[in-house]
Amino acid sequence: AQSVTQPDIHITVSEGASLELRCNYSYGATPYLFWYVQSPGQGLQLLLKYFSGDTLVQGIKGFEAEFKRSQSSFNLRKPSVHWSDAAEYFCAVVVSNTGKLIFGQGTTLQVKP
């Protein structure tokens, strides 16, 4: 069955430190993969997406993600975290030509001053 797993429910990093959020997916075909961010009480905003080509994709707010087919992973990274990055992050995969997304459970990021 198609699924997305975010192994880390909660992560705390210090401001200025690097960040990596993990995402593993289970899907037979070439996936369309996404990372979304949700600030408290808000909707979800698209950070970046992968659908083909270069496996390292750049997104907004200084985020990047790397698609690794051999590991079925699409981890999100940022070299230096800012306090405003504190939010919940969701990885998702498209599972059909109707655009349906399956989301991971989410990772809550806390940033220490």
Partner 1 sequence: NAGVTQTPKFRILKIGQSMTLQCTQDMNHNYMYWYRQDPGMGLKLIYYSVGAGITDKGEVPNGYNVSRSTTEDFPLRLELAAPSQTSVYFCASIPGEGPYGYTFGSGTRLTVV
Residues at the contact surface with partner 1, assessed by CB under 8 A: 4, 9, 32, 34, 36, 42-46, 49, 51-52, 90, 94, 97-101, 103-106
At position 37, the amino acid (one-letter code) is V
Closest approach of Cβ 113 to partner 1, in Å? 26
> CA 112 from chain center: how many Å?
20
Let me know: does 77 contact 64? Beta carbons within 8 Å.
Answer: yes
User: Cβ closer to partner 1: 70 or 98?
Assistant: 98
Closest approach of Cβ 48 to partner 1, in Å? 9
Let me know: does 58 contact 46? Beta carbons within 8 Å.
Answer: no
Closest approach of Cβ 82 to partner 1, in Å? 22
* Residue 111: φ, ψ to 5°: -115, 120
User: Cβ closer to partner 1: 26 or 45?
Assistant: 45
Instruction: Give, in order, the Cα–Cα distances in Å from 89 to each of 28, 54, 80.
Output: 24, 22, 16
Closest approach of Cβ 17 to partner 1, in Å? 25
User: Cβ closer to partner 1: 13 or 101?
Assistant: 101
